[in-house]
Structure 1
Amino acid sequence: MTTTEAPRPAARPERESFLPVLRSEWTKFRTIRSGLIGLGVAVVLCTVFTFLVANGTHEGTCTGTGSTCRSGHPYVATGPDGEAVADSYRFVERPLTGDATITARVRSLTGVTSTTSTDAAPSLDHVRPGLAAWAKAGILLRPSTAQGSPYAAVMATGAHGVRFQHDYTHDQAGRPGPVSGASPRWLRLTRTGDTLTGYDSADGRAWTKIGTARLAGLPATVHVGLFVTSPVSFERSGSGFATQATAAFDHVTQGAQGAEGAWREQSIGAQDFYPKLPGDGSRRDGGSFVLRGSGDIAPAVVAGLLGTGTPSSSILTGLIVGLIAVIVVAAMFITVEYRRGLIRTTFTATPRRHRVLAAKAVVIGGVAFVVGTLAAAIAVPIGEHVLKANGAYVFPVGAPTLARIIAGTGALAAVTAIAVLAVGTIVRKSAGAVTAGIVVFVLPYILGSSMSGGAEQWLFRVTPAAGFSVLGTLPRSAQVDYPYTLANGYYPLSWWAGLGVLCAYAVLALGIAAVTLRRRDA
């Protein structure tokens, strides 16, 4: 019996495999001396311009550099998690040892607002009636009166009802509505070991639990008492106006043992960065207290009040200049082949043209990512160091955020390079591709940075300038009424959403380029 062996499938030609195409394009790129030099220039320009911008920035009362500048800058507290915080208020407190329950009624909460912005020295001679929405008055417990130390507090607010807050960033809502003579707010804070629990009540009899916090390592003796504070208001315009709140407390009781010493009054954070109206004070009449104070207990998001920098703020000019160099290299990676007629040879060796485009995109994107990441890894620490040496306060960021800034800069360079490669494939001319790359991917950022109002918000939402959101580091907080605008250092999109917008433009450009390659002669 004769058997016939089934025919073996034909081996796939090597030219149909992507890896040889990728290897070929990488070989082309690394043998182009001008391209390698251009990317090196991008790193150098980014670093040099970052240094120049940071070295020209001085804050506070700085007239020079070094310790002279640092001594003139106001104090900014650092919270338990390393974040910048506002921690200033009027406090009437006494030491407490062991577990206890502290109760107080907020009988009234009123306020005034300055009629002159914080650019001028706040004065009680120029105020109008008005209670800030996040004015706070209530019971506060903390292990130390040092600014930035952990705390837990239950409080009435100007327009956000009763809240239970701890460690600056944690907030839980209680009974809604404002304080009034007809509707006072009863507050209660209990301590059980390291655990603090906040309650509120409408009548002082039926209590509702708001929330619980655990302050790890809380010492046996802590500071507990009544406080009031009132933040800068931005309700009328983008300018800030200092405010002051006055709170009247009664029915102040402290259950269980542990009360030690007399009540003491003090202004926490009197000399920090936060603009305040003068005249903080308190008075006591038996079991009743009246406190008056300015400030805030919240994340320090008010960058405009600090005249601050961020770890990424000084890199922007250097990044723009470096990005232009990357755009030139990316455009020439394809247009040079068209100009010299070598593209025909490339397409003869690889008839599937989209594979050539994909290989070039991988090569230029990978190289641009490495270059952008390297430039940021060098420039960001240099800029931060120089800013601090010149007296500028730099918002602290954690290691994950710093890594995101550096890698995000690389991603911004990579996606831009891929998009410009696609543009070069479409227009085939170096000058046209470079010009289009700068106009589409750089100019929107320059225009948006120089505009005001709502137009710049849309530029950073719907144009490739959205990609620069990867450099955003300033925190936002629902506890702080603040204009989170580009002028104050806040991008309208999150870093991942902004990068997504830029990627969408790159994908669109690649799609058009792929169609153009298939329909047009080389």
Structure 2
Amino acid sequence: MTGEPGVLRLTGRALLAEFTKLRSVRSSGLALLTLVALTMLLSLVAASLSTTTANDAKISVDQFHFVHQPLTGDGTVTAQVGAQRGTDPWAKAGLMFKDGTASGSAYAAIMVTPGHGVLLQADATTEVARPSATGPRWLRLTRTGQSVTGYESADGTTWNTVGTVTTAARPGTGQAGLFVASPPKLRMIGEIPNYEPVLGEATFKNVSLTPAGGGTAAGTWADTEVAPPPDGPETALGEGAPSAPVLAGGSTRKADGTVTVSGSGDIGRAGMGGINLTDVDRVKAGLTGIQFGLIGAIAIGALFMTAEFKTRGIRTTFLARPGRATVLTAKSIVLGTVVFVTGLAVTVPAYLITKPLQDDNGYRAPIYPESSITDPVVLRAIVGASLFLALIALFSLAVGTIVRRTAGAVIVLLAVLVIVPTIAGGTSDTAYAFIGRATPLAGISILQTVELTPVSDAVVTDAWSGFAVLCGYTVAALAAAFWLLKRRDA
């Protein structure tokens, strides 16, 4: 323990010495200025020039198999949803009040899904989720005028209120009953997305439809395929909500009252019920300048070591600080801290400035979810962008230590991190995907904040896996730099 104060003093002096070097060298300031300028400028240009009309296209889906009977006025429909075929985490089975059987008519529905619990929807504009309500579930819908309340229960005795929604359905005669939907599966034919219908199935028990407040229920249960007209316009992802041919569903009733219903399609709209049309991550796009701002991080990282090798000043440093590992450690701490703080100083305003530009250019809800700087995922992206720059600088410091020549180090780093990815992005999706997964540039995935549509090539790995790849490269490069620095002549 007696040696610790001396070690701390030595480390503190080394940190101060390296910070003084960094601050006093003009090239360091120019590199940081390049980082800030390129990041901000290119982020602003991208946000200003990129436009979309996606929200003007078809963004809702109303396609399912409906087992129903007329209901005049108010009433309650109740059923126990038993086995549900797990065709998709967002497959839906539940109860519905609907203003007729035409696709697009007003409705209120409560449904259970295999992967996301219970949802309460109205008119493809409102949704209330209860994700904790999983497994076989009792469901109930109660209509009073245009107000509809949804309930769920595990045993049919103790009921939990999911929420109350308002529907535009007329208070007169409508349809009430059971429905099943299963989203289409995406299959790529070359570069073209193709949606193949999938038939879902669920069983319902203890089905009851009870009029209230003077309402009446009459007639027998009928089956209807609710779907857009077959001669309607075809839409594909990127142009509107995905559509697929209807697979004929149906219903069968057993003697004990169990009803088995099958159906294909989906219900909801973009951003609701698992319908995802988002093809751009707004937060990541607002920080897109990072991809070229890293040139400044490369420059300052490589120069921080190679400049001393060029002037032979490294010998003086080693004479003043005999512990070479201490020197590289101090350089790493100072460099990482300075680049991280500089990164924050540009990523925060870049996000705040580009967000309103994106709104003006069409990147708005519902297709493009709103975000706030206080959202955890947004904070992770902003802080992660700064960490990405800091790690690129440290990786560059390690490469500079290994190569010991400014030109050689910078050429290698620019080729790996800028030139090759830029060329690959414009010529080969396969090569670009490999770069995004297996090279230090994978770390930029930390900027991702939303799950993009399956056909998007903007995501090749998840946020933390890509960042872990960059961390691995940086640690390996620094380890090699430490090993070589202690064994080579200055």
Deviation at 1:490, TM superposition (A): 2.8
Q: Is the 8 A contact 2:292 2:418 kept in 1?
A: no
Supply the AA of the counterpart residue of 1:138: G
Q: What percentage of residue pairs aligned between the two structures are identical?
A: 27
Give distance in 1, aligned partners of 2:446 and 2:371. Answer: 14
Deviation at 1:344, TM superposition (A): 1.1
Give distance in 2, aligned partners of 1:337 and 1:172. Answer: 63
Write the deviation string for residues 147-205 of structure 1: whole angstroms up to 9, x where unpaired. Answer: 9x9964147xxxx7998556458376647xxxxxxxxxxx8524799883257xxxxxx
Deviation at 1:242, TM superposition (A): 6.8
Give distance in 2, aligned partners of 1:353 and 1:389. Answer: 54
Q: 1:361 is matched with which residue: 332, 336, 348?
A: 332
Q: 1:231 is matched with which residue: 183, 193, 197?
A: 183
- Structure 1 position 189 matched with structure 2 position 147: no
Give distance in 2, aligned partners of 1:18 and 1:254. Answer: 77
Deviation at 1:420, TM superposition (A): 0.7
- Structure 1 position 348 matched with structure 2 position 310: no
- Flag the 1:491–1:37 CA change in 2: closer, same or farther, 3 A: same
Supply the AA of the counterpart residue of 1:274: A
Aligned equivalent of 1:499: 467
Deviation at 1:360, TM superposition (A): 0.8
Deviation at 1:403, TM superposition (A): 0.9
Aligned equivalent of 1:48: 41
Query: Which piece of structure 1 moves more, 443-452 or 418-427?
Result: 443-452
Aligned equivalent of 2:477: 509
Q: Is the 8 A contact 2:151 2:161 kept in 1?
A: yes
Secondary structure in 2 matching 1:311: helix
Deviation at 1:506, TM superposition (A): 0.9
Q: 1:215 is matched with which residue: 158, 162, 179?
A: 162
Deviation at 1:314, TM superposition (A): 4.5
Aligned equivalent of 1:102: 78
Deviation at 1:497, TM superposition (A): 2.7
Secondary structure in 1 matching 2:152: strand
Secondary structure in 2 matching 1:396: coil
- Structure 1 position 23 matched with structure 2 position 41: no
Q: 1:329 is matched with which residue: 280, 300, 322?
A: 300
- Flag the 1:12–1:248 CA change in 2: closer, same or farther, 3 A: closer
Give distance in 1, aligned partners of 2:338 and 2:296. Answer: 13
Q: Is the 8 A contact 2:81 2:139 kept in 1?
A: no
Q: 1:490 is matched with which residue: 444, 459, 480?
A: 459
- Structure 1 position 475 matched with structure 2 position 451: yes
Supply the AA of the counterpart residue of 1:276: S
Supply the AA of the counterpart residue of 1:312: K
Give distance in 1, aligned partners of 2:246 and 2:4. Answer: 88
Give distance in 2, aligned partners of 1:95 and 1:28. Answer: 82
- Structure 1 position 380 matched with structure 2 position 338: no
Deviation at 1:141, TM superposition (A): 7.8
Q: 1:395 is matched with which residue: 353, 364, 369?
A: 369
- Structure 1 position 254 matched with structure 2 position 209: yes
Q: 2:385 is matched with which residue: 403, 409, 416?
A: 409
Give distance in 2, aligned partners of 1:374 and 1:276. Answer: 45
Write the deviation string for residues 319-378 of structure 1: whole angstroms up to 9, x where unpaired. Answer: 121101210111111111111111111111111011111111111111111222222212
Deviation at 1:469, TM superposition (A): 1.3
Give distance in 2, aligned partners of 1:260 and 1:38. Answer: 75
Deviation at 1:435, TM superposition (A): 1.8
Aligned equivalent of 1:36: 29
Write the deviation string for residues 67-124 of structure 1: whole angstroms up to 9, x where unpaired. Answer: xxxxx72476xxxxxxxxx6645677969979x5613899x99xxxxxxxxxxxxxxx
1:114-263 correspondence to structure 2 within 5 Å: 136-140=92-96, 152-154=110-112, 165=119, 167=128, 170=131, 174=135, 188-190=138-140, 196-197=151-152, 214-215=161-162, 225-235=177-187, 237=189, 239-241=193-195, 243=197, 253-255=208-210, 260=215
Q: Is the 8 A contact 1:335 1:429 kept in 2?
A: yes
- Flag the 1:465–1:291 CA change in 2: closer, same or farther, 3 A: same
Q: Is the 8 A contact 1:55 1:386 kept in 2?
A: yes
Give distance in 2, aligned partners of 1:56 and 1:366. Answer: 33
Give distance in 1, aligned partners of 2:246 and 2:29. Answer: 64
Q: Is the 8 A contact 1:102 1:190 kept in 2?
A: yes
- Structure 1 position 426 matched with structure 2 position 418: no
Number of equivalent positions: 432
Deviation at 1:29, TM superposition (A): 1.0
Give distance in 2, aligned partners of 1:161 and 1:410. Answer: 35
Deviation at 1:239, TM superposition (A): 0.9
Q: Is the 8 A contact 1:104 1:252 kept in 2?
A: yes
- Flag the 1:10–1:43 CA change in 2: closer, same or farther, 3 A: closer
List alignment gaps of at least 5 residues for structure 1: 1-8, 62-71, 77-85, 110-130, 176-186, 200-207, 477-481
- Flag the 1:337–1:261 CA change in 2: closer, same or farther, 3 A: farther
1:59-98 correspondence to structure 2 within 5 Å: 59-60=52-53, 73-74=56-57, 88-89=62-63
Supply the AA of the counterpart residue of 1:362: I
User: How does the TM-score come out when normalised to structure 2?
Assistant: 0.69
User: How does the TM-score come out when normalised to structure 1?
Assistant: 0.66
Secondary structure in 1 matching 2:283: coil
Deviation at 1:468, TM superposition (A): 1.2
- Structure 1 position 275 matched with structure 2 position 275: no
- Flag the 1:381–1:173 CA change in 2: closer, same or farther, 3 A: same
Q: Is the 8 A contact 1:368 1:414 kept in 2?
A: yes
Q: Is the 8 A contact 2:96 2:141 kept in 1?
A: no
Aligned equivalent of 2:440: 464
Give distance in 1, aligned partners of 2:448 and 2:188. Answer: 26
Supply the AA of the counterpart residue of 2:448: G
Supply the AA of the counterpart residue of 2:284: S
Secondary structure in 1 matching 2:284: coil
Secondary structure in 1 matching 2:209: strand
Deviation at 1:453, TM superposition (A): 6.8
- Flag the 1:163–1:520 CA change in 2: closer, same or farther, 3 A: closer
Deviation at 1:387, TM superposition (A): 2.4
Secondary structure in 2 matching 1:239: strand
- Flag the 1:440–1:426 CA change in 2: closer, same or farther, 3 A: same
Supply the AA of the counterpart residue of 1:254: L
Q: Is the 8 A contact 1:55 1:387 kept in 2?
A: yes
Q: Is the 8 A contact 2:80 2:138 kept in 1?
A: yes
Supply the AA of the counterpart residue of 2:139: L
